[in-house]
Chain A
Amino acid sequence: MSEISKIVDRIKSGATTARAEIEAAIKRAETDDTNAILEIIHDRALQRADAVDSGKITGRLAGVPFLAKDNFLTLDSKTTAAAKILENFKAPLQATAIERLESEGAICIGKTNLDAFAHGGSTENSAFGVTKNAIDGERVAGGSSGGSAVAVARGIVPFALGSDTGGSIRQPASFNGVVGYKPTYGMISRYGVVAMASSTDVVGPIAASVADVELLCEIMAGPDGRDGTVFPDYFETNNNGQGAKKIGLVREFMDEGVDESVRERVNDFVKKLRDDGHTVTEVDLPMAKYALPIYYIVTPAEISSNLARYDGIRYGLRDSKAKTLAEVYGMSRNQGFVDENKRRIMIGSYVLSAGFFDAYYLQAEKARTLLINEFNDLFRKYDFLVTPVAPTPAFKIGENIDDPLKMYMADVMTVPASMAGLPALSLPAGTDENGLPIGVQIIGQMKDDAQLLSFAKKYEEQK
């Protein structure tokens, strides 16, 4: 059931006002005990709520509160990317995605926590403290869009924005039992979003229902002239998800290395699909085992380039002890980045250095072609692919923090779709024996977002 339409209807019918809705959401945000939210936007949000109540602002999202991951530039707030180097950065403009939502009357009430610069899978890499899981406070929120997923799971807002480079929307959605959507690469403009790895970065919604995801995609999709990777507008919702589908269950992600409860929930989901008349076949994606090394070559290379702009000169932190220009760069960056940022920037420098470029970076981009070819072969025979979202439910806070490689393993099932630019949905599929949420991932063909969402609507859990 659409949470968004409930709110819109309440306001429209006069049962409540936008101001009351926004005040209530801000109150929920202020009393949150998970550290999901870094900043609340009071004045602008309430002004916009009054404008909805007076009829000056209208639209399909009129009066609906939302939160944005703190790597989206927003007005009247800071945009920190959860890193010290941007701790006091106040953006002079807004991200296109935010503008699109506002143009339909949505109201941004604040910014959510993330792994600094979206580097991580647990939100433990935030310079401003860990976000706790919505269900179990001793466990991680997942990440990097951990704050957004927890805020939706806790009912603070009906939806929140996230960004996904290798799983950063899907994995936290899975860990907190909400719907998370990574659209086709190039569906939504990334203008005004802090860039991480430009060849796989996408923005997308985390919401309580697939219907809400569909509506939000329709509103945010399409070119704005400021992001040259966006396709000419192709997103129109459709009902092509109806009828019997051919579905591939990726064998590589259902082996014994995967938590038993995760496999059980995915198998339950597969049974439901078969009961509904869909065919589900086990399929192979042999390149899956190389997806993680491909990802951890290509994205650090792009990160090292994108994060070169944080130099303490035009904005952001400048180390006051720096005496020379070289010290301004080096000391500001040392102070302003968390360890994971430094690791990725330095790995990027390594794989791009003269003498290593062909062996690492070029080899990875060639391997990426082989991975994409395997996906293309599968999509000639199947409409969708199904996998778990992550090998385990949410892990304990601190459990993986000293072992970067172990942390990277949490991305193993989400990075393949990212490297290929494919749309992928994280859908709640029940819990383990301790009540920890588990998600299934449905991957579609490039630009087949509308059919994927139309199909998935039938399979969301009734709450």
Chain B
Amino acid sequence: MSARNPVKVDQTTVKHLAMLSDIHLSDQKLAKLTADLEGIIKHIEQLSELDTTGVEPTFQVTELKNVWREDVVEEQLPREELLTLAPNRTETAVKVPKVL
């Protein structure tokens, strides 16, 4: 694998990552996390020195494929029980702020 330029993790990058991650960070937290993330990314960057030409990736270790179960109707949790968990609701639905 070809060598890359050393990573540059600045507040713009971290702001973008926070946006991708749906986390509204305060400016103070942004500064702190930028420093942390820079260190962590530098650490994981080590892997770029490893030659993995022709190596297949391992995404899971069980080698199980297509584990099926019987297609039978099972008793599910009642809607009301799940709706009670919602922070805001109507009688039959979860309520969220206006989207459009």
A328 near B96 (CB under 8 angstroms)? yes
User: Judging by beta carbons under 8 Å apart, are A313 and B20 in contact?
Assistant: no
Binds B, one of A32-40, A205-213, A366-374, A449-457: A366-374
Please tell me if the beta carbons of B96 and A199 are within 8 angstroms of each other in the complex: no
Known: A296-B44, A343-B33, A366-B55. A325 touches B39 (CB 8 A): no
Known: A199-B59, A330-B23, A405-B43. A346 touches B52 (CB 8 A): no
- The reply to whether B77 and A360 form a contact with Cβ atoms under 8 Å apart is no
Q: When chains A and B are docked, how far (Å) is the Cα of A225 from the Cα of B14? A: 40
Residues from chain B with Cβ under 8 Å of A369 in the complex: 55-58
- B22 close to A368 (CB less than 8 A): no
| A199 close to B60 (CB less than 8 A) | yes
Contact B57 A365 (CB under 8 A): yes
Interface size on A, residues (CB 8 A): 71
Residue of A nearest to B83 (CB): A314
A304 near B21 with CB under 8 A, answer yes
Distance between Cα atoms of A324 and B96 in the complex (Å): 8
Q: Is B31 in the interface zone, CB < 8 Å from A?
A: no
Size of interface on B: residues with Cβ below 8 Å to A: 52
Taken together as a complex, chains A and B put the C-alpha atoms of A61 and B41 apart, in Å, by 47
CA distance in complex: A420, B85 (Å): 37
Docked complex Cα distance between A324 and B24 (Å) = 13
From A230, A325, A330, give the contact of B96 (CB < 8 A).
Answer: A325
User: Secondary structure of the B side of the interface?
Assistant: loop
A347 to B21, CA, bound (A): 10
Q: Are B37 and A318 in contact (CB under 8 A)?
A: no
**Which chain A positions have C-beta within 8 A of B57?**
362, 365-366, 368-369
Interface string of A378-411 (1 = CB under 8 A from B): 0000000000000000000000000011001000
Say whether A333 contacts B62, CB under 8 Å.
Answer: no
B 32-83 contacts with A by CB, 8 A:
32-33, 36-37, 39-41, 43-48, 50, 52, 55-62, 64, 67, 69, 77, 81-82
30 A–B contacts, CB within 8 A, in A order: A185-B61, A225-B69, A228-B64, A229-B64, A229-B67, A231-B64, A293-B47, A297-B44, A297-B47, A304-B21, A312-B87, A313-B86, A314-B85, A316-B87, A318-B88, A324-B97, A327-B24, A329-B22, A334-B24, A343-B33, A348-B21, A349-B17, A350-B13, A350-B41, A359-B4, A363-B52, A365-B59, A366-B58, A369-B58, A405-B40
> Which residues of B are at the interface with A, using a C-beta cutoff of 8 A?
1, 4, 13-14, 17-18, 20-26, 29, 32-33, 36-37, 39-41, 43-48, 50, 52, 55-62, 64, 67, 69, 77, 81-82, 85-88, 94, 96-99
